[in-house]
């Protein structure tokens, strides 16, 4: 078999090579196209994934969310408006309540402050009257020792100025027989001064009504008279001639002159005592001009002698000592005045 010419064979191989090359380029182009499409798709998917991830992260992360602009005056206000309104209303009610309390207190102070001020002025006025009367009385009795007025002031003035005393004011006036009229007049005027602002005037126990009675009857009579007068509003009593009361009846003054348990405390009990000389008075030869340092001693000795000898059964030493501690806390000795206005 004759072999084809070499030129034809080469030409055919060149064509085949060209065709194959063309097919290869076509195939490569297709592959490149497919690869490019795949890469583009992949790139698109990656970009989509990144965008989705970014959005998801932005959504989840508060930092990536743009901050909301809050007004300055509301920036730190986290209270619920309704709760804030209720709180303001409560504060308003509290302010109203406090104002009402302040007004009430002011009104109370005005009313009762005026009353207290008025009472204070009245007390000062009463005390001024009392002092003026005492000064006038002192002028009426110029012969008395200055110690007498000091004792009287201590016993009665402060007591007179108080409204809630713990015990009655007890004053013992003593003298000899020559000065008894002066002493009785002075006791009566002291009782008048003390009771000038009481609802009832002073009262004087009649001395002749009990000196001849039995101790029981005399004690009952004294109790009824003194109690009824104090109950009626009198605040000063004068018990004259204490030495004439039956000794056992004098125990009544345990009650009226008690330090803590006296039934009447805002009152004055003024006792008068006429001291008679005797065996007991030998240490005191001159009772007409007795020095103040002996006043208490002379009165104690005289009463101890009189009560013990008058009723030795009832008036024991202890009984007399207890009685004297109540009726002689304030003792004055009265001298005679030549001119009396009684």
In degrees rounded to 5, what are phi and psi of residue 45? -65, -40
Evaluated on CA atoms 39, 44, 45, 51, the torsion sign reads positive
Q: How confident is the model at residue 46 (pLDDT cuts 50, 70, 90)?
A: low
Average pLDDT for 294-306: 96
**Partners of 268 in beta bridges:** 169, 236
| % pLDDT > 70, the chain | 70
Tokens 């005289």 belong to: 302
| Token output for 23 | 């097919």
Calculate mean pLDDT across residues 38-64. 49
**Residue 203 parent element (H or E):** strand 203-204
- The 10s digit of each residue's pLDDT in 156-205 is 988 887 888 899 999 999 999 999 999 999 999 999 999 987 889 999 99
Quick one: pLDDT at residue 161? 79
Which pLDDT score, from 0 to 100, does residue 1 have?
Answer: 43
**Per-residue confidence (pLDDT) for residue 84, from 0 to 100:** 65
Q: Show Cβ contacts of residue 274 under 8 Å, excluding neighbours closer than 6 positions.
A: 174, 175, 176, 177, 180, 183, 241, 243
d(CA 181, CA 193): 19
**So what's the pLDDT on residue 153?**
92
Q: Report the chain's mean pLDDT, rounded to a whole number.
A: 79
Phi, then psi, of 276 in degrees rounded to 5: -105, 135
Q: What is the pLDDT of residue 230?
A: 94
Predicted local confidence at residue 253, as pLDDT: 93
The CATH number that domain 121-333 falls under is 3.40.50.12190
* Averaged pLDDT, 222-244: 94
User: What pLDDT sits at residue 73?
Assistant: 52
- Given this model, what pLDDT does residue 14 score? 46
C-alpha span between 244 and 254 (Å, rounded)? 17
Q: Whose CA is closest to 245, among 291, 208, 198, 278?
A: 208
Reference 340, options 191, 239, 201, 189; nearest CA is: 189
| Residue 199 main-chain phi, psi, to 5 deg | -70, -20
- pLDDT in the model for residue 9: 47
Under a CB-based contact definition with an 8 Å cutoff, are residues 122 and 156 in contact? no
Reply yes or no on whether the pLDDT at 81 is more than 60.
yes
Token readout for 292 is: 């103040």
pLDDT recorded at residue 5 = 45
User: pTM of this prediction?
Assistant: 0.64
pLDDT for the residue 4: 45
pLDDT tens digits, one per residue of 84-124: 667 777 788 888 888 888 887 877 776 665 445 555 555 55
Contact predicate 207/271, CB 8 Å: no
What pLDDT was estimated at residue 128? 85
pLDDT at position 47 over 90 = no
Q: Which residues in 230-291 belong to E strands, given as ranges?
A: 236-239, 268-274
Radius of gyration, alpha carbons of the chain: 60
Tokens encoding 198: 């009481």
CB atoms within 10 A of CB 199: 9
Residue 221, pLDDT above cutoff 80 = yes
Judging by beta carbons within 10 Å of its beta carbon (0-12, 13-18, 19+), is residue 123 exposed, middle or buried? middle
300 pLDDT above the threshold of 80: yes
């Amino acid at each position: 078999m004759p072999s084809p010419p070499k030129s034809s064979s080469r030409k055919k191989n060149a064509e085949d090579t060209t065709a194959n090359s063309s097919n290869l380029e076509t195939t490569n182009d297709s592959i490149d196209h497919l690869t490019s499409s795949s890469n583009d798709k992949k790139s698109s998917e990656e970009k989509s994934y990144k965008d989705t991830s970014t959005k998801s992260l932005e959504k989840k992360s508060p930092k990536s969310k743009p901050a909301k602009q809050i007004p300055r005056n509301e920036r730190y206000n986290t209270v619920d408006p309704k709760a804030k309104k209720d709180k303001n209303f409560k504060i308003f009610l509290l302010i109203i309540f406090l104002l009402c309390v302040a007004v009430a207190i002011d009104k109370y102070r005005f009313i009762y402050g005026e009353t207290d001020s008025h009472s204070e002025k009245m007390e000062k006025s009463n005390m001024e009257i009392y002092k003026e009367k005492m000064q006038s009385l002192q002028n009426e009795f110029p012969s008395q020792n200055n110690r007498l007025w000091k004792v009287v002031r201590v016993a009665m003035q402060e007591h007179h100025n108080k409204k809630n005393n713990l015990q009655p004011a007890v004053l013992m006036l003593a003298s000899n027989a020559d000065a008894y009229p002066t002493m009785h007049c002075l006791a009566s005027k002291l009782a008048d001064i003390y009771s000038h602002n009481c609802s009832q005037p002073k009262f004087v126990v009649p001395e002749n009504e009990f000196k001849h009675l039995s101790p029981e009857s005399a004690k009952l009579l004294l109790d009824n008279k003194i109690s009824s007068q104090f109950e009626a509003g009198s605040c000063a009593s004068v018990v004259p001639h204490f030495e004439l009361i039956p000794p056992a009846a004098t125990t009544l003054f345990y009650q009226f002159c008690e330090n803590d348990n006296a039934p009447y405390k805002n009152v004055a009990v003024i006792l008068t005592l006429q001291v008679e000389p005797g065996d007991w008075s030998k240490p005191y030869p001159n009772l007409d001009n007795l020095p103040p340092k002996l006043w208490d001693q002379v009165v104690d000795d005289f009463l101890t002698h009189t009560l013990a000898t008058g009723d030795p059964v009832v008036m024991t030493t202890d009984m007399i000592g207890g009685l004297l501690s109540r009726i002689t806390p304030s003792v004055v000795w009265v001298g005679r005045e030549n001119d009396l206005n009684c």
